[in-house]
Amino acid sequence: MWSLDEELALRHSAIEWLKIRSDDGAEPLTRDEILDFEYRGQKFRLQATQTGIWKPRILRAALSFQTVFRTPGQARPYEDEVGRDGLIRYMWRGDDPLHPDNVGLRFAHEHQLPLIWFIGVGGAPKKYQPVCPVFIVDEEPELKRFVVAPMDEEAFFLRDRTQDTVMQGTIKRYISRETKVRLHQPVFRSTVLRAYEDRCAVCNLGHRQLLDAAHIVPDSDDRGVASVVNGLALCKIHHAAFDSFIMGISPDHVVHIRPDLLEEIDGPMLQHGLKELHGSNLMKLPRARGERPRRDLLEVSFNKFLNAEAS
């Protein structure tokens, strides 16, 4: 068994490598790409192949865990969820608290060791969004699950776990923000761009660097959901036009441009990039019907577009 210092050095090396390889968590990786990691001149596995939790034999604590991808409507073998406190719950493996995988995560919690979370975003071959570092901040044994927070080590060690101080309130807000930045946003982006095959839904532009995953209904809205069905792959121009209600998309997937812009004359970008798209159907939709934008969410967004137009 390695010492805790040796384990920590490995984790820092693996996390730094994953950040570089995934463009600081912006791009998903295949299993083969993840297998490329080397430590001290030798390949070192970072991800489980058959189970959710990965604890190498030479380590005392789990090194990583993963969540498999399921299309909307499909059940997961273990259903993770976000609690009312904004923190993520990750289920035990099975029912036995002393299962080696559960013991491995518990050891990471007790010794405050950073972990890696691989989140499946689909694709062929399968791709995983690496989220790291994450920490186990609590355990809820009565519900057979751990409480996970995606945050850097500075914030983790600053938190006060004994009393509700001003600092703890600040850290809680930080964790809530980091959960979106490090977890929901990159996973949402990867899932949406994969479903739309790296093409803009409106104009079919195929350069990933110029594409965004746009929320149909913002996640700040109670009706917004962190799922591919609440997303559209849009190029930068059409994303900005959509968010500012210059462009709307009706529930039947038809593009609408604000009437006053249709009358405006302002060069080829406005003419070809927006005006000529008025009344046309979306040029790209996911092949899987279960991943296409939900009609009720498009209706909410389109009504906002119509109200903005009227005002």
User: What string of DSSP letters covers 279-311?
Assistant: TPBPS---SSGGGSPPHHHHHHHHHHHHHHHH-
Q: What is the pLDDT of residues 167-221, one digit of tens each?
A: 455 556 666 666 666 678 888 999 999 999 999 999 999 999 999 999 999 876 5
Report the CATH architecture of 4-165: Roll (2.30)
Mean pLDDT for all residues in the chain: 87
Q: What is the pLDDT of residues 221-256, one digit of tens each?
A: 555 567 899 999 999 999 999 999 999 999 999 999
Q: Considering Cα of 217, then 221, then 226, then 229, what sign does the dihedral take?
A: negative
Residue type, position 205, single letter: L
pTM: 0.80
Residue 180: which residues within 8 A CB-CB, separation 6 or more? 219
Residue 196: which residues within 8 A CB-CB, separation 6 or more? 232, 233, 284, 285, 286
Q: Considering Cα of 115, then 77, then 124, then 122, what sign does the dihedral take?
A: negative
Q: What is the pLDDT of residues 76-87, one digit of tens each?
A: 444 556 666 667
How many angstroms separate the Cα of 202 from the Cα of each of 185, 257, 273, 281? Answer: 21, 12, 10, 8
For the chain, the domains span 4-165, 195-310
Is residue 245 packed enough to be buried (19+ CB in 10 Å), middle (13-18) or exposed (0-12)? middle
| Alpha helix (H) residue ranges in 196-256 | 236-243
Return the structure tokens found at 130: 């690496």
